[in-house]
Amino acid sequence: MADEDLGCYFTLIYEVGIINQIGTAFLEARLPNGLLVSHFGVVSHLIRVGDGATPVELAGAFQVAKTTMTHTLAGLEKHGFVEMRPNPADKRSKQVWLTDNGKKFRDEALAKLAPLFQELAGRFSSSRAAAMLPELAEFRAVIDQLRDEIT
Amino acid sequence: MADEDLGCYFTLIYEVGIINQIGTAFLEARLPNGLLVSHFGVVSHLIRVGDGATPVELAGAFQVAKTTMTHTLAGLEKHGFVEMRPNPADKRSKQVWLTDNGKKFRDEALAKLAPLFQELAGRFSSSRAAAMLPELAEFRAVIDQLRDEIT
DNA sequence: TGTATTTAATGCGATATCGTACTAAATACC
DNA sequence: GGTATTTAGTACGATATCGCATTAAATACA
């Protein structure tokens, strides 16, 4: 129960911060003209989970402020990668739909990233990466829950 | 070798991104008046590793741009948490030294954070967190290396 | 039914971060 | 020793992100 006991959480956050920095920079360097990981992430999310999410749902999924998501979505819309449509179930709300160009953007980004990840796979196997995921995901779920409770 | 093989890297980066978001927001909500995790991180680093690092070394340690570190250090100096002194070994360079107020800031921040981490420890044990660290650190080292090579 | 509270999205201002360009010093190289 | 290249730090402009306030719609509730 000493302080050093809690130190591993700080170390964990520290490591995660650095990995996030490097990963973001890596991906961003390979995305076309001014597009960011946030854009790529939203499009990927829409492909994985499905179209028609609301901005507030997306903000929750990525744990960013609503205003940030508004900004990101505006950028995606300007590039023609998503379409904002009124939400038939709630007139305050909107729905985000992918366009063909949006899917193409994601496919091309993935293709451009693939060699890099192949190289990475040679140095840190995908099975090792996969093995880390369950604990990471649960840690994420725990602090997510904690965040909700503490407000 | 299919695409799904590489998918775990994306998932890893995604999880790390969210954890980073939540962790940063958590810590920042508990730091005094306008201080950020970047400030806390630098002070903690100087305590852990030792005084007298140069700005460029700190930028490297946190994988942020030099200009960002200049900005962060200016904030710390304005709060009186660090002192910038000329580097006797290199007249272009500087050294960053902690002040007593800087150490106090870190101690107080830690004290304020402790209950939160105690609560966290009850839901995700420190031993589980510690168990994740070696793989995370090595993954970090690998992408760090990759970053250097690819330029 | 009518009012109060909550919620979705956005406008606005503040600021953290980044890339580029610049200056001064160190290093390489001839 | 003299020139060219690299490196440390910073100024400046661009922009991503956030918090606060506002508007419109949904929900609670009396």
DSSP-derived secondary structure for A15-52? HHHHHHHHHHHHHHHTSSTT--HHHHHHHHHHHHH-S-
* Residue A38 approaches strand D within 7 Å at CB: yes
Q: Is the pLDDT of residue A65 over 60?
A: yes
Q: How many Cα neighbours within 13 Å face the side chain of B55?
A: 22
Q: Is the pLDDT of residue A37 over 60?
A: yes
**Cα A145 from Cα B108, distance rounded (Å):** 25
Q: Which two tokens stand for residue B13?
A: 């980066």
**Cα A71 from Cα A51, distance rounded (Å):** 19
Decide if A19 and B5 are in contact by the 8 Å CB cutoff: no
Q: Is the pLDDT of residue A4 over 80?
A: no
Place of tokens 């099975």: A127
Q: Which two tokens stand for residue B77?
A: 């100096």
* Residue A61 approaches strand D within 7 Å at CB: no
Q: Which two tokens stand for residue B147?
A: 């970053």
Q: Is the pLDDT of residue A2 over 70?
A: no
**Which residues of chain B, if any, have pLDDT below 50?**
1-3
Beta strands per DSSP E along chain B: 82-86, 94-98
Q: Are B56 and B77 in contact (CB under 8 A)?
A: no
Distances (CA, A) of A147 to A62, B26, B114, B129, B130: 14, 8, 15, 18, 21
Among residues A110, A9, A87, A26, the alpha carbon closest in space to that of B44 is found at A9
Compute the average pLDDT of residues A98-112: 95
- Among the partner residues A27, A128, A146, nearest to B120 by beta-carbon distance: A146
What is the reported pLDDT for B83?
Answer: 98
pLDDT category at A32 given cuts 50, 70, 90 is: confident
Question: pLDDT digits over A5-24, tens only?
Answer: 888 999 999 999 999 999 99
Compute the average pLDDT of residues A114-137: 95
Q: Which residues contact B106 (CB under 8 A, 6 or more apart)?
A: B40, B43, B44, B47
Closest CA-bearing residue to C1' of C17? B68
Protein-contacted bases of chain C (C-beta within 7 A): 7-13, 15-21, 24-27
Q: Per mean pLDDT, which range of A130-134, A139-143, B30-34 is the poorest?
A: B30-34
Domains with residue ranges and CATH for chain A: 31-124 (1.10.10.10)
Compute the average pLDDT of residues A44-54: 96
Distances (CA, A) of A70 to A42, A59, A95, B15: 12, 9, 12, 22
Compute the average pLDDT of residues A106-124: 93
pLDDT category at A151 given cuts 50, 70, 90 is: low
Decide if A18 and B116 are in contact by the 8 Å CB cutoff: no
Neighbours of B23 (CB within 10 A): 23
Instruction: Using the CA of B87, give the nucleotide whose C1' is nearest.
Output: D8
- Among the partner residues A10, A11, A117, nearest to B6 by beta-carbon distance: A117
What is the reported pLDDT for B28?
Answer: 93
* Residue A72 approaches strand D within 7 Å at CB: yes
What is the reported pLDDT for B76?
Answer: 97
Neighbours of B69 (CB within 10 A): 22
Amino acid, res. B7: G
Closest CA-bearing residue to C1' of D25? A92
Decide if B13 and A23 are in contact by the 8 Å CB cutoff: yes
